Amino acid sequence: MKTKFYFILFFAILGMLTLNSNGQFYKLGDKGKIIKGELSEADYNSLKSILLENSKSVLPDTLIIKYDYNNETCWMFLDSKNDDDIDSSISIRQRQVQKVSLNRKGVSIFKFKEKGSNLSKVIDRDSSIFLDRKRKLFKLLFKKKSTCGNSIIILPSRKFILLRSDSHFEAINYTRDQIIDILAKD
């Protein structure tokens, strides 16, 4: 039984690495995993407009956005599981975001997915993920695809930190001090 599991796991990982159509997979420590910069005022205002189309609330100080892509191979292994396992995974992910939202006042958290017909089940079935119907967010912030999606933290100063291949939405766990440290580095 264990042998069968490892056999399936091996081929799932191999498939992720060879069939990926979304570009590079960035591991922790890889050059290009974390990008920092600053949005123009026009781009920042466009972003706020896009977000307000999907959320009717006032946007507080910091914005954290997760973006998942169509034709993604990141969740292939989980997609092969039964519906209960997939639904459980979705619930766990939703609770994680809710917990962070409750504990971090002044932060708005959004999850978006690219429009398409080949979304991972764990992304497609998650009702908390907004659909980027007209690809506005994609064009503005997430044009460079990477395996497992990307996340961005945007401060009121318009400075940002982009995390590539952020499969588990680690961006929501970055502390204020970690964000300051990353932005201060050359």
Report, as an integer, the average pLDDT of 149-173: 95
Question: 174, exposed or middle or buried, with CB in 10 Å at 0-12, 13-18, 19+?
Answer: middle
- The DSSP bridge pattern shows strands 34-38 and 62-68 to be unpaired
Q: How confident is the model at residue 9 (pLDDT cuts 50, 70, 90)?
A: very low
> What integer pLDDT is reported at residue 162 of this predicted model?
97
CA 147 to chain centre: 10
- Considering the entire predicted model, what is its pTM? 0.84
- Asked whether the predicted pLDDT for residue 11 surpasses 70, the reply is no
Please say whether the dihedral angle defined by the alpha carbons of residues 59, 63, 69 and 75, taken in this order, is positive or negative.
Answer: negative
Q: State pLDDT tens for residues 61-116.
A: 899 999 999 998 888 888 899 999 999 999 999 999 999 988 988 899 999 999 99
pLDDT at position 12: 46
Question: So where are the chain's domains?
Answer: 2-184
Kindly report the average pLDDT of the chain as a whole number.
86
pLDDT band of 22, cuts 50, 70, 90: low
Confidence of residue 10 (pLDDT cuts 50, 70, 90): very low
Domain 2-184 adopts which CATH fold? Glutaredoxin (3.40.30)
